[in-house]
Amino acid sequence: MLSIDKFGLVFDTLGMKTLILISLLVGASASANLTQTFQRPLIDGASVSADYRAQSPGKKLSLRYTMEENIETLAKNGQLGTDTVKALSPDILQDRTILIGIDIFFWDSVKPSSDDSVAALKQLMALVSAQQIPIVLGDIPPLRPSQPSRNLLNQEIRQACAAYEKCKLLPLDAIFREVMAQGYLDYKGQRYTLPELLPDGLHVTDPASEYLADQIENLF
């Protein structure tokens, strides 16, 4: 059936209804997929993932789709990626639906050599690919006075993530640089300065964590 809108444009109302229905079905399907993906998450890494100062972005996002008792957090303050990966095993991953590790290799970036960290990254990707579970990794922003291994590790993280179809990369480096360039972040109708997002220059506040949770969600 053809109708004429207030601008005199002719459109097919049946076609419009079909498009709306398709959009609703796609949205429902996407929500169901996210519920399945974040049903039993494993959150690992360093202090941001360990809920230091604020609930982690991974936990904030997961709580939109599951109960807190279904979330397992192994992250520890100051933990190196090499130590994180050593503690992981197929048994730990076997009942998990996703691994969220946005800061797993952050502290590795301050080391003079990245050789063992790159080896740990390869081991990590082998573990998750063997289990065929999704993983969210973050690249490393410049938050410390000296991070000699940051650039190489970022290159390796991006390449490793691109090579595994179930890997999503949270571009923390680009997000941080954009906030630095602008001097603020506009989020949910409020403007946050960098000190309001990272008061100590390292750990995120609640609004920053919520923003990062949204960015992770947008990757799916």
Query: What tokens appear for 208 in the block?
Result: 């920053």
Helical packing angle, 172-182 and 206-218, nearest 10°: 130
60-116 pLDDT, tens digit per residue, is: 999 999 999 999 999 999 999 999 999 999 999 999 999 999 999 999 999 999 999
The domain segmentation of the chain, as residue ranges, is: 1-37, 39-218
With H, G, I as helix, E, B as strand and everything else as coil, classify residue 189: coil
Q: What percent of the chain has pLDDT over 70?
A: 86
Whole-number Cα distances in Å, 145 to 68, 90, 141, 150, 177: 36, 36, 11, 12, 15
Residue 11 pLDDT grade (very low, low, confident, very high; cuts 50, 70, 90): low
Q: How far apart are CA 31 and CA 22, in angstroms?
A: 14
- Closest Cα to residue 36, out of 60, 58, 63, 65? 65
Residue 6's H or E segment, with its range, is none
Q: Is residue 140 within 8 Å of residue 172, measured between CB atoms?
A: yes
Architecture of domain 39-218: 3-Layer(aba) Sandwich (3.40)
